Amino acid sequence: MKALLIAAALAVAPTAAFAAEINPQGGTSREAWGQRQCRNFGGEWGRYVCFDTTRTSWVSIAGILPVPITRTKTRTHQVDCRINHSGNSLRAQVAAEYCPQLPGLAPAPFLSLRD
């Protein structure tokens, strides 16, 4: 998708712009939020932590695209606290911080502890 937009911008750009240096810049940020206790369908409580992530990516090409192209995605993830999550990934960080809080962590608002 990004390549298509860049190609379109290059096709429409004046020929003088090709003499200038094209300096693409971009980045990605990812944030975890909404940590809560959850379970698999029919599963047991006190085993899983669910959390949402917001991932924002952007790209800007100086001189051709004056406004950066931004894309934001929100997804829900689940961590099984019985599995050792090593490393520095976002999933491992959430597991290290929130798995010790189970089963005291609040449940997902759309689930009931009584089921």
**Structure confidence at residue 53 (pLDDT):** 92
Q: Kindly tell me if the per-residue pLDDT of 57 is higher than 50.
A: yes
**Structure confidence at residue 17 (pLDDT):** 45
Rg (CA), the chain: 21
What's this model's pTM, rounded to 2 decimal places?
0.65
Inter-CA distances, 19 with 9, 13, 14, 16, 107, Å:
15, 11, 10, 6, 58
**Structure confidence at residue 66 (pLDDT):** 63
Q: Kindly tell me if the per-residue pLDDT of 76 is higher than 60.
A: yes
pLDDT in tens, 28-48: 888 888 999 988 777 778 889
Instruction: Indicate the average pLDDT of the chain.
Output: 78
Question: What are the tokens at 82?
Answer: 């019985």
